[in-house]
Amino acid sequence: MTGHWALYQDTLVPRQDAKTDIEDRGYQFGDGVYEVIRVYGGKLFLAEAHAKRMERSLRELRISFPNCVERVLKGATLLIEAEGIDDGIVYLQISRGAASRVHQFPTPDPIPVFSGTASPLPRPVQLMEQGCEALLLPDIRWLRNDIKSLNLLGAVLSKQQAKEAHCHEAILERNGILTEGSSSNLFIVSLGELLTHPANNLILNGITRQEILRLASEEAIPWKEKSFTVDELLAADEAFICGTTTEIMPLIQIISINEQNKHERHKIGSGLPGGVTRTLQQAFTRLVEACAAGSGNKP
């Protein structure tokens, strides 16, 4: 049984004792950051990269949180040990803290609230094998998606709409360009080349995305960080989404919404997971297995 423990200000506490002040700015403004770290075989996967990205997100929001990387790694380790997680995730968040509700930063700085939980989560093996469908929607989010902030309403509304269309993910389009998924990055394979949106303010620079680009180089798959249009996606040979919980998931069908508000279905490539996607999945699985075996763990 899990769900017994929570992290609160660097310390493990019984889950029911972890409480948020109703004037916490994370709660009132989404004023804070978060990370989700994968656990395989009881070991943290790519945790240092997540901790460093959290440190960057905090810096962008000007939240002072000394020794972020060490504290995140320690907090995550405490949680997986306390909960006995084998395959699962650690969720960690840091809000600016509690203060009377005004938009601007409170003075003096409130004490940031560092909290987290860990829970079991199996690998999404069936969807990784068969592929999934995605709903094409306008990207209604703000213009700082490079910050992993607690403000997720654009993602929440998009993912819900995808669910109602029986799709696994929403993929988002801004000014004719595909940016990413609501909780994943997006890749296509076109003319033998792997393409993904450049890591700028319009997307989250996913840890999985970065690892995939590294693996693509190792596998001698040509790649470019280059944006692509909806037409290029629909004409692509292959497409996939990726993320910490998603891993590498083939996109086999896109559903778009036409002017009459009707769904239109578009097969990607042959409508089956493609060869480049499979090669990357296999390389990624080798990393996962090395992590679980304790030899490839890069905490």
Q: Give the residue numbers annotated as catalytic, written as ranges.
A: 148
Sign, Cα dihedral of 289, 292, 296, 299: positive
Q: Alpha-carbon distance 248 to 79, whole Å? A: 26
* Contact set for ligand PLP, span 172-191 (CB under 6 A): 180, 183-185
The helix/strand/coil state of 32 is strand
Single residue of 149, 196, 208, 277 touching ligand PLP by CB under 6 A? 208
Stretch that binds ligand PLP, among 63-71, 82-90, 98-106, 200-208 (CB under 6 A): 200-208
* Burial of 116 (C-beta count, 10 Å sphere; 0-12/13-18/19+): buried
In this structure, what token pair is assigned to residue 78?
A: 């405490």
β pairing state of 193-196 and 223-225: parallel
Tokens 């778009």 identify what position? Answer: 256
The answer to whether residue 93 forms part of the interface with ligand PLP (CB under 6 A) is: no
Identify which of residues 68 and 99 has a Cβ nearer to ligand PLP in the complex: 68
φ/ψ of 11, rounded to 5, equals -125, 145
What is the maximal distance between C-alpha atoms in the chain?
59
Identify which of residues 98 and 182 has a Cβ nearer to ligand PLP in the complex: 182
Residue nearest ligand PLP (C-beta atom): 206
Q: Alpha-carbon distance 211 to 228, whole Å? A: 21
The answer to whether residue 158 forms part of the interface with ligand PLP (CB under 6 A) is: no
Smallest gap, in angstroms, from Cβ of residue 202 to ligand PLP?
10
φ/ψ of 38, rounded to 5, equals -80, 145
Stretch that binds ligand PLP, among 17-25, 205-213, 222-230, 250-258 (CB under 6 A): 205-213
Single residue of 25, 96, 168, 209 touching ligand PLP by CB under 6 A? 209
In this structure, what token pair is assigned to residue 279?
A: 């090669």
Count of chain residues binding ligand PLP (CB under 6 A): 12
Residue 173 Cα distances to 18, 55, 201, 202, 227, angstroms: 38, 28, 14, 10, 11
The answer to whether residue 207 forms part of the interface with ligand PLP (CB under 6 A) is: yes
Query: Between 237 and 266, how does the x/- string for binding to ligand PLP read (CB under 6 A)?
Result: ------xx----------------------
The answer to whether residue 204 forms part of the interface with ligand PLP (CB under 6 A) is: yes
In this structure, what token pair is assigned to residue 293?
A: 């075996």
Smallest gap, in angstroms, from Cβ of residue 212 to ligand PLP?
9
Smallest gap, in angstroms, from Cβ of residue 140 to ligand PLP?
13
Residues that bind ligand PLP (CB under 6 A): 36, 180, 183-185, 204, 206-209, 243-244
